[in-house]
Amino acid sequence: MKIISYNINGIRAALKKGLLEWMEEEAPDVICFQEMKAHLDQIDKSIFEDLGYHIYWFPAEKKGYSGVAILTKVEPTNVVYGMDMEKYDIEGRLLRLDFGDITLINTYMPSGTTGDVRQNFKYEWLDDFFSFIENLKKERHKLIICGDFNICHKEIDIHNPVSNKKSSGFLPEERAWVSKFINSGFVDAFRHFDESPHNYTWWSYRARARKRNLGWRIDYFMVSEPVVTNLKDSKILAEVIHSDHCPLSLEIEF
């Protein structure tokens, strides 16, 4: 099974840049989108259905903002929209699909780059998300969590760790949270296969950052330890351009 995670920064804009044609060529079994910035009635869903996908769409209440979706060729056995916490669910932050004993969670974590109010909201999210996953693990042991975490974990994950040490997304508290999350029983799938530097998933639109590979690795596949033996590969598809992020892939066998 090939799973793709991709912050597309606007589904309608990405479709104009060849997203659908790329999906047809890449042919993932499951694709998890973040930051769709659209309600389902704002696009022609048949274009995805014609590729064989079941569509699960969890937008923000506010149009043109946030939202997550999962398109899957394998029909899930259970679907859960949100965390049952209104302040996050109105922003379309999390979607869960179960496939038998496997649980896939697609999440778009808040950014704190616009100031203290949203940074504090981000810290609240991190605490609540951690508790949410801890509770879920009591029932569901095989977890695959993907999405835009909006945090670089280590210095290797950012092009300039010194100048960015006080930037939201690379703050000590945020990085410590990722360490805590991994230590609670998860594996960073990409780093399981590749420890090399200069592998990023997001680049600013400014200063030709992508062309110069001045990026941040803020998108992840985190898998719970019972799933690790099923992993076959995980890659960052940096050459794919429909967004300021790039997709990442997970190949897994059950």
> What pLDDT is attached to residue 139?
97
pTM equals 0.97
Q: Is 120 helix (H, G, I), strand (E, B) or coil?
A: helix
Q: How far is CA 253 from CA 55, 102, 137, 231, in A?
A: 23, 12, 21, 7
- CA atoms of 221 and 202, how far apart (whole Å): 15
- Give the ranges where the chain is alpha helix by DSSP (H): 11-16, 19-26, 46-49, 86-89, 116-137, 172-183, 189-193
Q: Is 192 helix (H, G, I), strand (E, B) or coil?
A: helix
> What pLDDT is attached to residue 71?
98
Q: Which of 75, 31, 23 is nearest to 51 (CA)?
A: 23
**pLDDT tens, residue order, the chain (254 aa):** 999 999 999 999 999 999 999 999 999 999 999 999 999 999 999 999 999 999 999 999 999 999 999 999 999 999 999 999 999 999 999 999 999 999 999 999 999 999 999 999 999 999 999 999 999 999 999 999 999 999 999 999 999 999 999 999 999 999 999 999 999 999 999 999 999 999 999 999 999 999 999 999 999 999 999 999 999 999 999 999 999 999 999 999 98
DSSP code of residue 233 = E
Q: Encoding tokens for residue 161?
A: 């760790």
- CA atoms of 62 and 39, how far apart (whole Å): 9
Q: Give the active site residue among 44, 148, 157, 219.
A: 148
- Please, which residues have CB within 8 angstroms of residue 166's CB and are 6 or more apart in sequence? none
> What pLDDT is attached to residue 117?
97
User: Regarding the domain with residue range 2-252, which homologous superfamily does it belong to in the CATH classification?
Assistant: Endonuclease/exonuclease/phosphatase (3.60.10.10)
- CA atoms of 67 and 179, how far apart (whole Å): 26
Q: Which of 49, 61, 46, 52 is nearest to 93 (CA)?
A: 61
Examine the residue annotation and report whether 101 is marked as an active-site residue of this protein: no
Q: Encoding tokens for residue 167?
A: 């930037």
Q: Encoding tokens for residue 109?
A: 């974590």
- CA atoms of 115 and 94, how far apart (whole Å): 23
